[in-house]
Every structure is written in structure tokens, then in C-alpha cells.
Amino acid sequence: MPITIHWRNSRRDFTLAGRPITLPSIPNGSASYRADHLRHDDPRQRLIVALDVSSAAAAQKIVATVGDSALTYKVGMQLYTAEGPQVVRGLVASGRRVFLDLKYHDISNTVGAAVSEAAKLGVSMLTVHSSGGGKMLRAAVEAAKTRPELMVLAVTVLTSMDGNDLEQIGIQGTVKDAVVRLASMALASGCQGVVASAREASALRSKLGSDFAIVTPGVRSAGSSVADQVRVVTPAEAMAAGASYIVVGRPITEAADPAAETRAILSEIGG
């Protein structure tokens, strides 16, 4: 039997096959970037489920299946290109937090304008490339001020890259050196956090302190396929290294039982 999902115009409800499903409310201020403000007693606050699919219907099916086990969802380039801003509006209207992962990287005026539009959509987090430089990063941060709870996160080095990849594009030194250098510039420019592998998270905490968020992609449960990622860690390893949030996509979205897989990951986060 085909599954039909419709977003309603309320903040918390949508329907799955004609049956209403209520999503959990989101605590005010729970997206604070300060590590000591995160609710350590609720691992859902630290999990971001990546909706790396090509249609709103597929995304909504994942949200419905995962249920109240996740509060925040990542909308990246694939889904946003396929469906546009309406998929973000639908998630926000349902009471979900949205991590808009479009990795803005352009001249400062263009990036600032894009961030302004993202703020209007009601997203809670968005990404810019730290390699765009301080002027671009500051433009993004300034544009985000219209929505004070919006976190601007600077992408450091993609988790699909290793030292050989950096050398090919002319970046000398280790991956860790590059991550720390880019993160330092981003934080000095006003970004509330960075996107980095958990393999570099401990170095970031050691050198830059705790008063910023580290969002860690490339997270896989023990025994899962690493797919196209290179610097991969488990949820428990990411938390131990100092990650504030972890992003998990295919291990959940391609699981036979996404809700069960989500709960298993939450148990790893909670230790």
C-alpha cells in the first residue's frame, strides 16, 4: 500500500496515510551553541538526521518513521535542489529544527544575502565554508543576526578528504593543522561553531576551548559501512572527542528500521 504524507499548517502535526502524527515540542533555547547549555540528559538534542534524499515525500517518510527519536534534520544540497525552500518550511512548521547544509561559499555580499533568506525560513543552523575567508564569514554572521537563535557553522575540512586530497589543492600540513587554522579564523569572525570530523574535535577543544559548537558528520555505528567517508568515528567516539552534535544519514535513512537504528545511535550517544 503506498504511503501518502501531508504536512499540515500546525506547528506539530502531519499525517501519515491519513492518520495524524504529533511531533514533540522543541524546548526553547535548546540550540544554544554553548556546550554547557546542551541537555546532556536527552541525547536527541545532539543528533541531527541527514535527509540526503531527492524528494519531499522521501524526507517526510523518514521523519514519520523516525518519530520522536529525533528533533533536528539536515537539509542538504540534494534535497534542497530537488524541492526548494518549501521542504524547509514544512519541517519548521512541523516543529522540527532544520540544519540547512548548503555550505555557502561566494563573495561576501552574495553569502550575506543567502543567509538573510535562510533566516527568514526559520532554520536553526546553516553552513558556510571557512575557506571563503574572514570577510565572507563576517557577512554571514551579520546577516544571521536577524534571527538570534540561528547558528552559523563554518565547514573546515570535509570528512571525505584526507591529507593527499589537501595536498592536491595546494594546502600544506596535516588535516588537523588545516582544521584548527580554519576553525580559528571562523570563530574570530563570529561564527558560533564549526563542522569538523571528531578525529580533530579533541584538538579543537584543546586549542580553542569549549565555548563553541562542533558539528561532526561522518558518524557511523560500530560495524556500519563507511561508504564515501574517510575520517569516520562512532557516536560514542564523537561524544568523547568533544563533539556537540553528530550528523547521521544513511545508517538511519537506509536502515530496515530507521526508528530502531535511531534509538541505537541515541543509546551510543548517551553512553
| Set of cell numbers at residue 203 | 584538538
Pairing state of beta strands 213-216 and 125-129? unpaired
**CB environment 110-149: b (16+ within 10 A), e (fewer):** ebbebbbebbebbbbbbbbbbbbeeebbbbbbebbeebeb
Closest C-alpha to 113, from 144, 82, 72: 144
Beta bridge partners of 72: 48, 97
Distance CA 118, CA 94 (A): 17
Q: Chain-centre distance of CA 181, in angstroms?
A: 21
Return the SS3 of 25. coil
The set of cell numbers assigned to 38 is 546542551
Pick the catalytic residue: 103, 135, 176, 207? 103
2: CB partners within 8 A, 6+ apart: none
103 is catalytic: yes
Q: Which of the residues are catalytic?
A: 103
